[in-house]
């Protein structure tokens, strides 16, 4: 207990220098935590993917459609439990600044495949019964103040025109990793309209969602689906939901890599700052360490003292930065909700913060401790200040 008290007194001997160093560590840990949270948000869709879900799209590109007739053939493949389908609608609400993901889907099977989208029985019944009905995530509904029964108009880009929808339900995620910013409506509503205004675009879907009976059947079912449509006019590419989501992230892989590099560079910079602080502190107390040696303290005790001081400073800044990460993440999450609907500080980020603090403390104290141990008693006692 006495030694711990000495560590704190020594660590804050020069309050201004220690305070500025702690402030630097706090800012660095805060920046590191936010950058790691951004990376986590980027991969949120991958982490939330189910091992028992597959995605089938056109083998050439996802922008090319598939016939609706494929649905029945896919259902007949062994290992397939349920099939749904849909299109990326790409509608605009008010103007281009108000972006959110909007899909048309076959609602009954889609909701069965995605049980993590939780609706009340009354809302689900109302949604299924209304061809022009839609459901929205609670974050999206809260963002625009939508209430059940409100009419919302989207301006079509891929499918031109003004499309009116009626809000029939607000879903919530089964857990905090579920995207609550989506807009889902009936595929039949889109298809019936296309039959009237553009018959060539009718009876086509952008993707199929397939639920398999067991996760271990995923690869076999994927191969069977693609074999079933090989050499057809619209060949398919079937992959796990996780692989499908990773494909989109791969398009921005350079950005993710750059963010990862910056997050670690921040830690290296603050490590140099703490090392400078410890070097100055050790130089000022060389005389104190010489007196300790005359009293019988060995090099190990002195090293423990220096490493302890470094750890006190690093942990103080780290814990402060970790605490500030949560309100900062909430603020950033609200600002960037359009691009990162899931913006959560993960346990892994907090553990990385602590690991960074220990590494900073350890490496910043190595050279000062080595110097203090090597200085002789006589030389140390001659030092002034």
Q: What is the mean pLDDT of residues 23-51?
A: 76
Q: What is residue 232's three-state secondary structure?
A: coil
Token code pair at residue 261: 């590099």
Residue 1 has pLDDT above 60, yes or no: no
Report the alpha-carbon distance of residue 345 to residue 349 in Å, rounded. Answer: 7
pLDDT category of residue 49 using cuts at 50, 70 and 90: low
Run of H or E residues at 177: none
Q: How far is CA 166 from CA 114, 153, 224, 259, in A?
A: 22, 9, 39, 40
Residue pair 35/262 in contact by the 8 Å Cβ criterion: yes
Are the C-beta atoms of 50 and 366 separated by less than 8 Å? no
Pairing mode of beta strands 151-156, 161-173? antiparallel
Could you report the per-residue pLDDT of 80-136, keeping only the tens digit for each? 999 999 999 989 998 878 888 899 999 999 999 999 899 999 999 999 999 999 999
| Alpha helices in 118-252, H assignment, sequence order | 121-129, 138-144, 187-197, 218-228, 241-250
174-201 pLDDT per residue, tens: 887 788 889 999 999 999 999 988 888 8
The region of weakest confidence among 171-180, 266-275, 283-292, 351-360 is: 283-292
With a cut of 60, say whether residue 380 has pLDDT above it.
no
Rounded distance between C-alpha atoms, residue 275 and residue 155, angstroms: 57
């Amino acid at each position: 207990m006495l030694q711990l008290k000495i560590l704190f007194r020594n660590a804050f001997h020069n309050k201004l220098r220690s305070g500025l160093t702690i402030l630097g560590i706090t800012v660095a840990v805060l920046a590191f935590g936010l950058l790691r949270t951004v990376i986590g948000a980027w991969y949120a869709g991958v982490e939330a993917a189910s091992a028992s879900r597959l995605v089938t799209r056109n083998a050439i590109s996802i922008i090319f459609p598939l016939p609706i007739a494929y649905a029945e053939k896919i259902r007949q493949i062994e290992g397939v439990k349920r099939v749904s389908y849909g299109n990326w609608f790409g509608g605009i609400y008010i103007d281009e600044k108000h972006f959110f993901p909007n899909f048309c889907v076959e609602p009954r099977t889609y909701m069965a495949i995605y049980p993590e989208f939780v609706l009340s029985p009354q809302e689900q019944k109302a949604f299924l019964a209304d061809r022009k009905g839609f459901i929205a995530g609670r974050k999206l509904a809260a963002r625009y103040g939508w209430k059940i029964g409100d009419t919302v108009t989207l301006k079509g880009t891929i499918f031109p025109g003004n499309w009116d929808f009626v809000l029939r339900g607000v879903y919530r995620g089964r857990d905090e990793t579920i995207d609550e910013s989506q807009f889902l409506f009936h595929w039949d509503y889109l298809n019936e309209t296309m039959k009237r205004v553009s018959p060539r675009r009718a009876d086509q879907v952008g993707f199929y969602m397939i639920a398999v009976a067991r996760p271990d059947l995923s690869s076999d079912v994927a191969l069977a689906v693609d074999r079933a449509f090989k050499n057809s006019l619209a060949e398919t590419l079937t992959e796990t939901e996780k692989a499908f989501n990773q494909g989109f992230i791969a398009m921005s892989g350079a950005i993710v890599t750059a963010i990862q590099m910056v997050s670690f560079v921040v830690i290296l910079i603050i490590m140099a700052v703490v090392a400078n602080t410890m070097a100055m502190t050790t130089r000022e107390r060389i005389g104190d360490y010489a007196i300790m040696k005359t009293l019988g303290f060995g090099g190990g005790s002195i090293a423990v003292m220096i490493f302890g001081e470094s750890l006190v400073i690093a942990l103080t800044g780290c814990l402060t930065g970790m605490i500030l990460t949560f309100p900062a993440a909430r603020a950033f999450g609200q600002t960037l909700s359009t691009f990162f609907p899931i913006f959560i500080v993960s346990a892994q980020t907090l553990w990385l913060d602590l690991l960074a603090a220990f590494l900073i403390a350890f490496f910043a104290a190595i050279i000062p401790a080595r110097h203090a141990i090597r200085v002789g008693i006589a030389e140390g006692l001659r030092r002034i200040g």
